[in-house]
A and B are shown apart, each in its own frame.
Chain A
Amino acid sequence: MSEHEGRPVDVWWGSLVRSLPRLMVFALLWMILTGAQASSWRIGVPIVLVATAWSLSLVAPGTRLSPRGIARFVPFFLARSVVGSIDVARRALLPSMPIAPAMVRYRPRLAPSSAPAIFFINAISLLPGTLCASLEAANLHIHVVDDEAGVFEGLAELEEHVAAMFGVEISAREELGGPE
């Protein structure tokens, strides 16, 4: 949208370059699905092109992920989901079943309904003891397994990781939320 100036060829070339990452992702997916058999490209090339065009018409290119952000997010996410799973498994299997569930509200700092915010909301449910139940304009309603402290710290940390990965700025931690 920002390229009203410039010759049509430049505009066309620019959008081609910006759709390349997506084209590569779909080509890689095709290779994974077919085990990279050379003969499969007879069907694969048209399918990858159609998928790229379709994807571009659904979500315009623009979101850039920071490689350093991803490199930090992946180990963080894996470690936290292991902790979360062991925690829930322990509570489910212990005869005393130690749970103290509660609803809390969290005020996200990421822009509402942006791609990073949606990613954040989905990641919440995979973290230790938190499950995103509903979102309103300013508050997320989150169900927690145990209403101990540390929930908000964990959410704020996750949000910062997501922001770094999408390369967006968010405000410093202030009032993060509270019990419902």
Chain B
Amino acid sequence: MLIDLVSMVAIGAATIFFVAGSAGMLRFPDVFMRLHAMTKADNLGLGLLIVGLALQASSFWVIAKLVLIWLLVLVSSTSASHLVARDALARGLRPWRNP
């Protein structure tokens, strides 16, 4: 019962971070800020989602697989954001500054 509750809270919190990541994607002024929103908010969102799902998992191996998925997404999102940012800089895009 308690486990179900913790699980629900974790997954609920996860959706808030996914919503925040998407809000940043739409509201932030340039590509660099949007990358911040995607890499950070979504990583914690996915982490919480995985905590919520792991609590419902039937075996250790399912939990290990969920953690493995989280690690792979961490690695790919940080590499991808680095590549996008590097390319944007190479094309001469200047970061947005506060007016």
Contact = CB atoms under 8 A, between A and B. Distances in A.
A48 B43 CA distance: 29
A94 to B, nearest CB: 10
A133 interface: yes
Interface residues of A, number: 38
Interface residues of B, number: 44
Majority SS at the chain B contact face: helix
Most buried by B among A92, A93, A102, A122: A92
B8 interface: no
17 contacts: A32-B65, A81-B44, A82-B44, A84-B40, A85-B41, A85-B43, A88-B37, A89-B16, A92-B20, A92-B23, A101-B33, A102-B97, A126-B43, A126-B74, A129-B36, A133-B89, A134-B85
Interface of A: 29, 31-33, 35-36, 81-82, 84-93, 97, 99-103, 121-123, 125-126, 128-129, 131-134, 141, 143, 145
